[in-house]
Amino acid sequence: MPLTDLAVRNAKPSAKTVRLRDERGLYLEVSPKGGKWWRLRYTFQGKENMLSLGVYPDVSLKDARERRDAARKHLAQGIDPSKIRQEEKAEAAAEALTFEHVAREWYERFKPKWSPSHSLDVIQRLEKNVFPSLGPRPIRDITAPELLAAVRLIEGRGAVESARRILQMCGQIFRYAIATGQADRDIAADLRGSLPPAREKHHASITDPKAVAQLLRAIDGYQGAFMVLCALRLAPLVFVRPGELRHAEWSEIDFDKAEWRIPGPKMKMKEQHIVPLSTQAIAILRELHPLTGAGKYVFPSVRSSSRAMSENTVLAALRRMGYTKDEMTGHGFRSMASTLLNELGWNRDAIERQLAHAERNAVRAAYNFAEHLPERRRMMQSWADYLDTLKAGAKVTPLHATAGE
């Protein structure tokens, strides 16, 4: 006799599994713990098989019979319903692998290798620019035109460099998905050349010696906070990137060796960098030490000593001194040093190493932070002396006269 709703509802567990049969291979399996599963027993190509049709009461008797009938239709067509079930599960799993799911998996996998600032930048770029449009899409289904449309929305805001970085980031995500079996190909590779080349970014800088002299005298006359004055005076002597200067820590300064060793994670190229300190730089730091030396940062925030000085502090000071964004920036001290040191005859390799630029020659790709260090020490002291001479308004002796000593 076929089962009834009442019989199914009242089925009780016993010491062993109980099977209550319906029709055409369908039966209800009741476990000793009381669980009730619908099963379909069928024969395909001479072999007996079993297919699970769901759990009661989520799947009613009527639902179970409909699922049985659908499975038997496949059998009548020579198709194994178990294979259909496997394909449906595979498709559901593929649909669950959305771009956002895979991207966040990639992010968590590689985040420990990145600096905190880079890690935050990556996830914020994805959440703002990519997830809203492509996040819910199965990663296997995303096409190159779809990805290009998302990237061009960013380009349309005028953020061409951001668009290029996000396209590169998406390529990394697709390659990760391929490696982990979650995608078949990197569609970002199809978009090479689809964005205009990035414009080279030039930071406003002063390189004329007479104008440099005026700037140095203006810095000496700065009427703002003493800590900001020290940052302004030190910037041309060390010509590091603004972020590297702001995040300088007292533990990195060695007064005895007259050098500042910046750890790799703080550097753009992620390699340790040595900054030889001239006597003038040492004097500025010693003067500042009684004010901030008890804390972590050489230039702490005015709001909290546990944080570095704001990135806008030096820029704001330059504006107060009358220098516009088209005349001078915090980054401009690097261009100033690079231009004048090259013009005045110092070894280009020594200059590039002191600027902590990446080695572009594949044969010399290994970054040696101590390369040319003796010459760099002479160069940094001579550079500081040169700036003093400029500031004093005296006739300048070219640096190349002492560069080879």
The answer to whether 183 touches 177, Cβ cutoff 8 Å, is yes
User: Are the beta carbons of 216 and 387 closer than 8 angstroms?
Assistant: yes
247 catalytic, yes or no? no
Check if 241 is active-site: yes
C-alpha neighbours within 13 Å on the C-beta side of residue 249: 9
Q: Which of 175, 367, 372, 391 is catalytic?
A: 367
- Any catalytic annotation for residue 357? yes
Residue 266 known to be catalytic? no
Pinpoint the alpha helices (H) of 297-367. 313-320, 332-343, 348-354
Strand partners, 253: 260
- 334, 353, 376, 377: the active-site residue: 334
How far apart CA 262 and CA 234 sit, in angstroms, is 15
Q: Side-chain half-sphere of 391: how many Cα atoms within 13 Å?
A: 15
DSSP codes, 174-203: HHHHHHTTS-S--GGGGGTT-SPPPPPP--
Q: C-alpha distances in angstroms, 257 versus 61, 210, 278?
A: 85, 33, 11
DSSP-derived letter for residue 297 is: B
Q: How many residues does the structure list for the chain? A: 405
User: What DSSP line would sit under 110-167, residue for residue?
Assistant: HGGGS-HHHHHHHHHHHHHHTHHHHTTSBTTT--HHHHHHHHHHHHHTT-HHHHHHHH
Quote the CA–CA distance of 321 and 220 in Å, as a whole number: 11
**List 331, 353, 376, 377, catalytic entry:** 331
Cα–Cα dist 354/275, whole Å: 7
Whether 268 sits among the annotated catalytic residues: the reply is yes
List of residues 6+ apart from 310 with CB closer than 8 A = 246, 301
* Integer CA distances (angstroms), 162 to 28, 64, 71, 103, 399, in order: 59, 54, 52, 17, 40
Q: Which of 233, 241, 246, 273 is catalytic?
A: 241
End-to-end CA gap in the chain = 108
Place of tokens 């985040």: 111
What is the C-alpha separation between 235 and 328, in angstroms, rounded?
Answer: 12
Catalytic residue annotation = 241, 268, 331, 334, 357, 367
